[in-house]
Chains A and B, each alone.
Chain A
Amino acid sequence: MSPFYRSTADLFAELNRMQTMLDRVFPSPGASIRSQAGAGFPVLNVGSSPNSIEVQALAPGLDPAKLEITIDRGLLVIAGERRSELPPADERASVYASERFAGRFRRVVSLPEDADPARVEASYRDGVLRVSVAKRESSLPRRIEVN
């Protein structure tokens, strides 16, 4: 199993997820101005390995050439647009379900201090965007020899 998918994830991540679910069912009037309940497209998972920070965005149905991925002052921004694939209203068709996200999106991940913005790799496969940001050499764990 990949750590992205482990069932007993970090407690805070789990609480975060539950909060998001609750917010979706019972929208709270006094939510923080920065909280974005339900505005989760693409869904993000962030992981950290000894050599890199891995960001996984579940973003199906996008053209990878039109994705805008930028890193500016420690913020990784993933932005783009997903067009609705439903037929236009004037066509002779009836729409029964429209649950898939459509429109512009923008999500921001704050990278840790030791992320190296010069070494970033991004790939898009089967609707999943993976961005891997390497950690600076100086922050990697090092073994110190005792003379």
Chain B
Amino acid sequence: MSDHLLIATRKGLFALERKRAGWDSRLIGFEGVAVTNVLRTDGVIYAALKHVHFGAKLHRSDDDGATWRELTAPAFPADAADAPSLFQIWTMETGGRTHLDRLWIGAIPAGLFRSDDRGETWQLVSSLWNVPERKRWFGGGYDAAGIHSISPDPRDEDRVFLAISCGGVWESRDAGDSWSVLGKGLFAPYVPPEQAEDSAIQDPHRVVRCASAPDVMWMQHHAGIYRSTDAGAHWTRLSPPTDDFGFAVAAHPRQAQIAWFVPAIKDEIRMPRDGALCVTRTDDGGQSWEVMRHGLPQRDAYDLIYRHGLEVDEAGERLAMGSTTGALWTSENGGRSWALVNAHLPPIYAVRFVGGLA
């Protein structure tokens, strides 16, 4: 089980370590600055910042947060169509075991950026920016569409899947040189009925893949939850006994039938029903569900778990969940019971289990 967590919040980056008595927490960078996501790979921590005034920035630490060096953040080139300017780095992922120098960044507006030198330089993946469907993309909770989920296929890391709010789900099989839109079966009630199955305007809130069964993916969509068994080409809507709105989803890394979601009342409200927070879990691919509440507040709770706010560790038993109102919980038993770590953190944007920190 992973004993270390990195928490990206509106007021800085926190590192947590599991000790016998609970989790020890310390601020390791960017006090007072929004950290929109964090990635630790190969001994390096990458932190994405959003200065409201000064824009999106990227920093790197080679000593687990003792010191930081600013990297040149990705930027749209001057000749990019429609004159975009980077608003936020939304997600960062590695290129995989066979591409140790490669990193991916998904941004708002929905630019995909690739680095082949561990983050020192970045290029806009123009082939995606220039797909004709981009004219139909639009913002989901932001002024512009954004890429929040990126997943190289562990079997072939040049095959890269990504999800865009609101721009559907896409795949490249050649490390980003060309792209196909996927997502048959997704349904959008927020557009006129004749457009509801248009792949290019779907709003996946978050998509995650089962690491050991990479054709299996789980999606929390703006209007429902879905599962795919063919790497995102087709999706089947699931029917949990709870609300099926939310933002986050976690996939068991080893068991393709297991996933977790965090329901909220749908889109006009976006809060736990009846002030009672729960996490749902399926062990059979979505046919049946456990609704898990033990250790979670069951009255007067207004926590919302945002897209990158739920994570399961590599063993599939420990979970971490952080809310937009600054509460952080962990579970040691696959979500069946939870313990509050801290209710007074800044709003939490992302939680990530990492290997041992210094």
Are these two chains actual partners, yes or no? no
Which A residues lie at the B interface, using CB under 8 A? none
